[in-house]
Amino acid sequence: MKIILVLCIFMYIKPVEPNTHLIYLYLQTASALRYSTEMIPVYKTLAVSVPKPFVYMVKLNRPEKLNAINPIMWKEFKECFDGLSLNPDCRVIVLSAAGKMFCAGIDLQGMMEMGQNLAKYEDIARRCKFLEPKIKDYQESFTAIEKCSKPVIAAVHGACIGAGVDMISAADIRYASSNAYFQIKEIDIGMVADVGTLQRFPKIVGSDSLVRELVYTARKYPATEALKSGFISLMLDNEESLLNKSIEIAENIASKSPVAVQGSKMSMVYSRDHSVQEGLDHIAMHNKAMLQSEDFLNAVMAQAVKGDPPIFSKL
């Protein structure tokens, strides 16, 4: 009897076999983050740096091409934001650009190459089959900003045209220097914007009338007007003060509980696209777990005793 009992217990606690699935998942994640020695990923079209602890700077880095988005950049952009979403050393991302302007839009050379590939097909159905996944991939590149669990601050200097507007419309916060202007340029090249501007821009800017005017005319929308209509929330004198301010705000956000910051982003993105009741249900589901996180206790205690700001663990 005793032996059977011992045997039962032994069987119950027998060592777990190595979980190959978990190991695979770990390797996959590690390679997605593309850790270099300092855990800063390296890309051809983006320059990633860490100006302050927990603050990552992602710079569009094709200055000689005015940061036009080519096929490599579309791909790397998604990889970069997907990686930072999981990187516990990153709490906030500042999205900026190298060179004299933020972004000239889609790289027309890349478009031309796509046109040549498209010409291989005669039939409209086959052409559509070729194009649809391309468009969706491009959409996913910018949706990666929104799906990224960390807040993204877009810091725009100079021109931000076409796909550049689609890009920053997916950011959490937008700041610009006074020389910045935006242009929803797609109409001028005979196409409908298809990577996020028409879906996100109207939800940021309150005036439907202004949105439609900007879309139909493709006119320049200067920083002062963007500030007045709420597309940007801050305008700085020059590029340097723009970057300084963006990093300063990022540092502030990075000092808060990452559980609270990431949960807030998730809830705001969800609630934008759902009813009030659905949003409330969603956050109730989330918070019934997250209110039990150590962050909640630590932050409440720190507020109560008005002591040093609390240090939060990586997330």
Ligand X SMILES: *[C@@H]1O[C@H](CO)[C@@H](O)[C@H](O)[C@H]1NC(C)=O
Interface ranges with ligand X (CB under 6 A): 240-241, 244
Two tokens, residue 299: 């932050």
The 10 Å Cβ neighbour count of residue 146 is 17
In terms of Cβ atoms closer than 10 Å to its own Cβ (0-12, 13-18, 19+), residue 98 is middle
Q: β-strand 159-161 against 220-222: which pairing, if any?
A: unpaired
Judged by beta carbon, residue 240 or residue 278, the one nearer ligand X is 240
How many Å apart are CA 53 and CA 168, to the nearest integer?
A: 24
Give the nearest distance from C-beta 243 to ligand X in angstroms.
Answer: 7
> What one-character DSSP code corresponds to residue 106?
B
> What one-character DSSP code corresponds to residue 15?
P
Judged by beta carbon, residue 233 or residue 241, the one nearer ligand X is 241
Judged by beta carbon, residue 240 or residue 273, the one nearer ligand X is 240
Judged by beta carbon, residue 240 or residue 281, the one nearer ligand X is 240
Give the nearest distance from C-beta 216 to ligand X in angstroms.
Answer: 38
How many Å apart are CA 138 and CA 146, to the nearest integer?
A: 14
Give the nearest distance from C-beta 26 to ligand X in angstroms.
Answer: 38
Give the nearest distance from C-beta 261 to ligand X in angstroms.
Answer: 24
Judged by beta carbon, residue 140 or residue 251, the one nearer ligand X is 251
Give the nearest distance from C-beta 251 to ligand X in angstroms.
Answer: 11
Residue 309 has phi, psi (to 5 degrees) of -60, 140
Using Cβ positions, the residue closest to ligand X within the complex turns out to be 244
